[in-house]
Amino acid sequence: MATVVKKVRHRKILENIFGIPHFDLFAIISYVIPLAYIFIFLIVPLAEMLKIAFTYNGAFSLHWFKSIFSQEFYISPKPQGSLYVDTPQYIYVEGLDFGVILNSLIVAMFVTMLATLIGVTLAYVMYRYTFPGKGIFRVLLIVPLLMTPFVNAYVVKLIFRENGIFNWILHDLIGILPKPIRIDGLVGVMIAQAIAYYPIVYLNTYASFVNIDPSLEEQAENLGSRGFKLLRTITLPLALPGIAAGATLTFIFSLEDLGAPIAFHSASIAKKLITYQIYDKFLSETGYRSPEIAALAIILLALSLLAFALIRKYVSLRQYAMMSKGGRWYIRTVKPKWWQYVIIYTIVLPLVLFTITPQIGVILLAFSKEWSRTPYPRGFTLQHISQIALDPSVRRYVINSITYAFTAILIIVVISVMASYVSNRFRGVLSPIVEALTVFPLAVPGIVIAIGYFYFFASITPKNSILNPLSVSFNPGPILIIAYSIRRMPFTARSIYAGIQQVHASLEEAAMNLGSTRWKAVMGILVPLIAMNVLGGAMLSFVYAMSETSVSITIGSLEMSKAPMTAYMRDLIVSAAGSAHMAAALGFILIVVQISAIILSTVITKQRYAFIGIT
């Protein structure tokens, strides 16, 4: 009797924690490995940093935070500098300085607003209207998604120089501007980021629009609603979860971006951003566990987490799309009215063209000899590209990046399949925790992970170990692989999770009911069915791992012979002007990798290349 009662109780405990009916080694391993991996390589390093930030003279203290918040350098409600400077040759715009923390917040907010405005407008135009050239728009809109760290922001800087193409067209040619405007500093960072991140809003919003049950709009029209009223009361509110998700991601990405501030670093105000400050202090204080950096990193993390937590709550509260299905599903498109045609071709098209200038600029830069004095580049050359292929000292960076990214993807796929399986199929206490942990890295700024890893690996590994960042024999490879696998996990995990959701659990249950083990049912039935989701997610993660910057240019730069290509790109972009061509050539390699991924995923998986989504 007693043993039966005990057995029942044990079973109940298993059911409560894991959501599995009886002891099942495969299911428990699938819980433990992802939990342990993310715990050790994300939670522990962050905790380590937390400990450092809250310790002063060996005791718990808010000292470092108080010190940060009391310095005008970090927070200065009264702005310094002026909105613009009117020099004899041009008007110089670089933004006001509100102190590091407020600057970061203000930039992120402006970027979010700008990106949301552009993204939502484009998504609506592409969703609602059919017009000649729409196919071209569709292709053009993929271009801003191509990531070339540092170089794209550098191109924005070139465009907005006093003798850049912007002023050349608007001042020299058309003459709308009475005087050239040179945009630099925080304003430059803002524009570069808005152009880089608006596709996130665009894609999320477009996906939301497409998911609106057409009968919801039809019903409103049938009751007399139309035009702007219909958009304001029905269409936009229904897409709001997607818009909010895109906007929040943009906010987080802007907050954690290090590429644009580095590209604009020659204007000292561009350095006054949280990420740059952490990075700068990391470079100058390597080897020393600075509590002030840790505290600054904690502040950055807190801001990003706050935004992330709000959106998770909001989106989960408003799951509209699933409610009413059935009926005929089609996308309701209309022909624009004449004035809408005018808007599409005279405002929307130039806007899209403007947002792809960084990518065009990167390619021009990669294949040109000189682009410093003239509005457009001069002298076609293959020298930079061929140097990457032929010069072993350059080629190794590309090889390092591919090796690290590829290894990271293997880890990501294994962990993601396990985590998505258990969090989707079982209803235990741990299931939602596993699910949340796989998405959580999206909310942790890269520079925070970099600093956390630096402290973490410096304290747990032996002094002369190749894993110790303070050691002379340090090899950044393994740490970069871990960092990439954590940072880029959400893309694959979400894609696999969505795939598993499409496959009814009864398919595996039927296999197990016929005598198969869970392992065989998962590997033999489920995994083949979600192969396309695995592939799609893995490619996305790979592309993002290749272009990772924060950890690559900090920990990765500690030993340049083992550094990834983004670390080398940073070195090139901050040194003499001519070397930007080489950085652009490396950026071109990244573009080629990304276009290949897009083509592969469209051809093989037959899915649209959904870059970033949050659900």
Partner 1 sequence: MVTVRIDGVVKRFGEIVALKGVSLEIKHGELFTLLGPSGCGKTTLLRIIAGLEYPDEGRVYFDGSDVTDLKTYERGAVLVFQNYALWPHMTVYENIAYGLKIRKVPRDEIKERVKRALELVKLEGYEDRYPTQLSGGQQQRVALARALAVQPKLLLLDEPLSNLDAKLRIEMRSEIRRIQRELDITVIYVTHDQEEAMALSDRVAVMNFGVIEQVGTPREIYQRPKTKFVADFMGKNNILPAKILEIKNGRATLEVLGHRISGIPAENILGDYSDLYFSIRPEKVSLTPFEGAQAFEGRVDLVEYYGFFVEIVIKIKDVFFFVRVPDLKEPLKQGDNVKVYFNPQDVILLQE
Residue in 58, 224, 287, 462 binding partner 1, rule: CB under 8 A:
224
Residue (44 or 234) nearer to partner 1, CB: 234
Residues 233, 464, 473, 501: which binds partner 1 (CB under 8 A)? 233
Least gap, CB of 234 to partner 1 (angstroms): 6
Query: What is the residue type of 265?
Result: H
Distance in Å, CB of 229 to partner 1, minimum: 7
Q: 79 with 97: CB under 8 angstroms? A: yes
CA–CA distance, 360 with 448 (Å, rounded to integer): 32
Residue whose CB is less far from partner 1, 21 or 214: 214
Task: Kindly tell me which residue out of 16, 219, 374, 464 binds partner 1, with binding defined by CB under 8 A.
Answer: 219
Taking CB under 8 A as the criterion, which residues in 199-218 touch partner 1? 213, 215-216, 218
Residue 10 or 229: which CB sits closer to partner 1? 229
Joined together, the tokens standing for residue 440 give 């959580």
Instruction: Give the residue, chosen from 172, 221, 370, 391, that forms a contact with partner 1 under the rule CB under 8 A.
Output: 221
For residue 287, the surrounding DSSP H or E stretch is: none
Q: How far apart are CA 80 and CA 97, in angstroms?
A: 5
Q: Mask: binding to partner 1, 316-335, rule CB under 8 A, as x and -?
A: --x-x--xxxxx--------
Comparison of 221 and 391: residue with beta carbon closer to partner 1: 221
Which of 593, 395, 557, 566 is closest to 479 using CA atoms? 557
> Which run of H or E residues covers position 225?
none
CB of 328 to partner 1, least distance (A): 8
When the beta carbons of 212 and 467 are compared against partner 1, the nearer one is 212
Closer CB to partner 1, 325 or 606, in the complex? 325
For 439-590, where are the E strands, in sequence order? Answer: none
With respect to partner 1, which residue has the nearer C-beta, 213 or 508?
213
Least distance to partner 1 from the beta carbon of 330, Å?
Answer: 11
CA dist list (Å): 12 to 9, 20, 25, 419, 432: 5, 9, 16, 22, 18
What length is written for the chain? Answer: 615
Q: 124 vs 609, which CB is nearer to partner 1?
A: 124
Q: What minimum distance in Å lies between the beta carbon of 240 and partner 1?
A: 7
Which residues, 6 or more positions from 117, have their beta carbon under 8 angstroms from its beta carbon? none
529: left (phi over 0), alpha (psi -120 to 50) or beta: alpha
Q: How far is the CB of 608 from partner 1 (least distance, A)?
A: 23
- x/- contact string, 14-53, with partner 1 (CB under 8 A)? ----------------------------------------
Q: How far is CA 373 from CA 126, 169, 225, 363, 369, in A?
A: 38, 15, 56, 18, 12
When the beta carbons of 84 and 320 are compared against partner 1, the nearer one is: 320
* Distance in Å, CB of 333 to partner 1, minimum: 14
Binding footprint of partner 1, residue count (CB under 8 A): 25
| Contact partners, residue 287, CB within 8 Å, separation at least 6 | 470
Residues 41 and 482: beta-carbon distance below 8 Å: yes
| Binding status of residue 6 toward partner 1 by CB under 8 A | no
Q: Which stretch binds partner 1 (CB under 8 A): 146-154, 232-240, 528-536, 586-594?
A: 232-240
CA–CA gap between residue 409 and residue 420 (Å, rounded): 16
Give least dist CB 315 to partner 1, A.
13
**With CB under 8 A as the contact rule, which of the stretches 6-14, 41-49, 219-227, 592-600 interacts with partner 1?**
219-227
91-93 and 59-60 strand pairing: unpaired
Nearest distance from C-beta of residue 311 to partner 1, angstroms: 17
For partner 1, the closer of residues 240 and 402 by Cβ is 240
Query: Tokens at residue 60, please?
Result: 């718990």
- Rounded least distance, CB 223 to partner 1, Å: 4
Contact pick of 225, 286, 461, 579 for partner 1 (by CB under 8 A)? 225
Radius of gyration for the chain, computed over Cα atoms and rounded to the nearest angstrom: 26
- Binding residue for partner 1, selected from 50, 106, 220, 527, defined by CB under 8 A: 220
How far is Cα 65 from Cα 52, in angstroms, rounded to an integer?
12
> H/E element holding 554?
helix 550-554
Q: What's the rounded Cα separation, in Å, for the pair 152 and 192?
A: 8
Determine the longest span between alpha carbons in the chain, in angstroms.
95
368 sits near partner 1 (criterion: CB under 8 A): no
Q: Judge whether 612 and 206 are in contact, CB under 8 Å.
A: no
Q: How far is the CB of 124 from partner 1 (least distance, A)?
A: 17
Asked whether the beta carbons of 116 and 196 are under 8 A apart, the reply is no
Q: Tell me whether residue 180 or residue 241 sits nearer to partner 1 (CB atom).
A: 241
Residue 30 CA to residue 13 CA, distance in Å, equals: 17
Distance CA(466)–CA(304), nearest Å, equals 32
Q: Please report whether residue 315 would count as binding partner 1 according to CB under 8 A.
A: no
CB of 446 closer than 8 Å to CB of 484 = no
Segment lying near partner 1 (by CB under 8 A), choices 81-89, 234-242, 280-288, 463-471: 234-242
**Residue 231 C-beta: closest distance to partner 1, Å:** 14
C-beta of 172 vs 221, nearer to partner 1 = 221
Among 3, 222, 284, 502, binds partner 1 (CB under 8 A): 222
Task: Return d(Cα 237, Cα 136) in angstroms, integer.
Answer: 29
Q: Which residues bind partner 1 (CB under 8 A)?
A: 213, 215-216, 218-226, 229, 233-234, 237-238, 240, 318, 320, 323-327
